[in-house]
Amino acid sequence: MGVITTAVDVAFRVYSYLLIIRILLSWIRHNPYQPVIRFIYEVTDPYLNLFRRVLPPFGMMDLSPILAFIALQLLEWLVYQILRFL
């Protein structure tokens, strides 16, 4: 069971880092066609778009990543609880 828990922890951590990088990329000028940046956008866009429908951008501020991080933490907690009872 320890291997599964570690894999889940790594997966959530990596996705959290990708979200942070995505947020930082929105603050700087970058080449959206660069393969690594394109990958980050393709992986994080579907998840962030769910929250953008709930909380549209507020002027120049996009607060959807805050909701996305809260939901990701809740999902991580839920998965750990499920794994604990298995």
What's residue 22's pLDDT? 94
What is the model's pTM?
0.87
Along the chain (86 residues), what's the average pLDDT of each consecutive run of 10 residues? 90 96 91 94 95 86 90 95 89
Identify whether the C-beta of residue 18 lies closer than 8 Å to the C-beta of residue 37.
Answer: no
What's residue 26's pLDDT? 87
What's residue 61's pLDDT? 84
Radius of gyration of the chain (CA): 15
What's residue 48's pLDDT? 94
Question: Residue 10 forms beta bridges with which residues?
Answer: none
